Chain A
Amino acid sequence: MSQLSGVAIRGISTAVPTTVSRVADYPHMSAEEAERFSRSTGIYERRIVSGSQCTSDLCAFAAADLLGKLGWERGDIGALILITQTGDQPVPATAIQLQHRLGIPTTCLAFDINLGCSAYPYGLLTVGALMNTAGIRRALLLVGDICSEVCNIADKSSWPLFGDAGSATALELDACAAPMYFDLMSDGKGAQAIIIPGGGLAARQPVTAENLVPVADKNGMLRNAANLVLRGADIFSFAISKVPASVLRALEAAQWTPDSVDQCVLHQANKMINDTVRKKIGVTEERVPTSLEKFGNTSSASVPLTICHTRDAWRFPCRALFIGFGVGLSWGTVAAEMGEGTVLSWVETDDVYPA
């Protein structure tokens, strides 16, 4: 259990690509299968990148939107941290390119963190603690993924679940900010539950012609070694058995009751998982916003995208829980008090930065 004092969330923005991919149009499912899939998962459509659009393009657009609305100078930004599992290239870290591209001075420290569905609570603590320790007045936490690029389109156990998005959160040192309470956990025993086993810089399964040939698994799903594998049943068991306890620990640390929480934002895994977790936490449905229907599971960006998607609910100060869980396995909760007017509407972009 960790507590972070003296850091305030000043703004949250999210960008998605314009291309809509509808589950009903997915060629690898019958109409009946697609209908059942959407009913069970709550996912009807997602935004996916086209052309050479990358995670950095979505995050840069969200960050520029946010800096503009806040009226912050580029020179104010002392740290820029990107959490992604789908960076623009294996090396160098995408955050460093974003520093240059956003016109932030070279005095800014920048690096990537490799986390997915648990990114948001992890990011808030990591960046907030860095700011406190190093005396960095203003910082940007970027989270984003383009999972459509790593899932095999013929793999119906992963492809139709994921959407692409990038988000920016502005943080500022503020001695008067209400403390945030964190419960962050890791369990590498579950590494196989969501994994891209090969490709990129992988040492165990490097990029070889052989590793890039799609092979059918025992359920007939086609993937190569660089495609994402999602073992849904294992993720489901993990989420419903570990996540509620994390949330309850964060609530206890903040000395909040479930009833006193205004907004409980869960990572958007799927409807069955999220409904089960919500019931176990004991919060009512209207306080659990969702973006599954329109955006699917957007990995690291799912919590801020859901916040931006339900912007009207964030007009007034409120008590919020941000809950991430998944790949790693990694999971966690933050209990935070949100100020008024910190949330921007999500925006669309097909911008591609010249490589």
Chain B
Amino acid sequence: MSQQEFIESFADAIEVDPAAVKAETEFKALENWDSLCALSIIAMVDDAYQVTLGGEDLETSKTVADLWTLISSRR
């Protein structure tokens, strides 16, 4: 799966317009980002990539691309 597909899944999981999310988007700065979004992302990543993200992974990742890099390294 590509980074672009991941970005689309990411936007879908947190219910925002896919056009609003880019690789360099700092996701925790998104207006609607909250703890529920974090859970949605963990669920989506677990389901689509069989990778379990922890709270710290989301803390230390800044951009959507950072998260993708992390997921890719664990697949």
Contact = CB atoms under 8 A, between A and B. Distances in A.
Say whether A and B bind each other. yes
Interface in A226-249: 231-234, 236-237, 240-241
A205 interface: no
Contacts of B39: 40, 232-233, 236, 270, 272-273
Contacts of A237: 42, 52-55
B47 interface: yes
A276 interface: yes
Interface string B46-59: 11000011111010
For A157, A234, A273, which residue has the most chain B Cβ atoms within 10 angstroms? A234
B9 interface: no
Interface size class of B (residues with CB under 8 A): 10 to 19
A36 B40 CA distance: 12
B42 A233 contact: yes
Nearest to B38: A233
Interface in A28-64: 33, 36-37, 40-41
Contact of B54 (A36, A233, A276, A279): A233
B36 interface: yes
A237 B55 CA distance: 8
A133 interface: no
B35 A240 contact: no
Given A276-B43, A276-B46, A240 B36 contact: no
Interface in A156-210: 157
Nearest to B15: A36
A234 B55 contact: yes
Contacts of B38: 232-233, 236
Contacts of A275: 43
Contacts, number: 51
B36 A236 contact: no
A89 interface: no
Interface in B31-75: 34-36, 38-40, 42-43, 46-47, 52-56, 58
A219 B52 CA distance: 23
A37 B36 contact: yes
Interface string B19-38: 00000000000000011101
B36 A276 contact: no
Contacts of A241: 52
A236 B13 CA distance: 15
A270 B42 CA distance: 14
A234 B54 contact: yes
A272 B47 CA distance: 12
Contacts of B36: 36-37, 40-41
Interface in A269-325: 270, 272-273, 275-276, 279
Contact of A272 (B34, B40, B54): B40
A157 B39 CA distance: 12
A272 B38 CA distance: 11
B52 A233 contact: no
A270 B38 CA distance: 14
Q: Which 6 A-B pairs have the closest CB atoms?
A: A233-B55, A234-B55, A237-B54, A233-B38, A241-B52, A236-B42
13 contacts: A157-B35, A231-B55, A232-B38, A233-B54, A233-B58, A237-B42, A240-B43, A241-B52, A270-B39, A272-B40, A275-B43, A276-B43, A279-B47
